[in-house]
Amino acid sequence: SAIGIFVGKTLPKNLSLEFIIPLMFLALAVPFLHKKPYIITAVISAIIMVLTRGIPYNGGFFLAVFFGMIGGVVAKRRFVHAD
Which residues, other chains included, contact 31 with Cβ-Cβ below 8 Å and sequence gap of 6+? none
pLDDT value at residue 1: 66
Is residue 34 exposed (0-12), middle (13-18) or buried (19+ Cβ within 10 Å)? exposed
Express each pLDDT in 61-72 by its tens digit: 999 999 999 999
Indicate the pTM of the whole model. Answer: 0.68
DSSP, residue by residue, 33-72: TTSHHHHHHHHHHHHHHHHTTTSGGGHHHHHHHHHHHHHH
**CA-atom Rg of the chain in angstroms:** 16
Sign (positive/negative) of CA torsion 22, 48, 29, 3? negative
Per-residue pLDDT tens for 32-82?
888 889 999 999 999 999 999 999 998 999 999 999 999 999 999 998 765
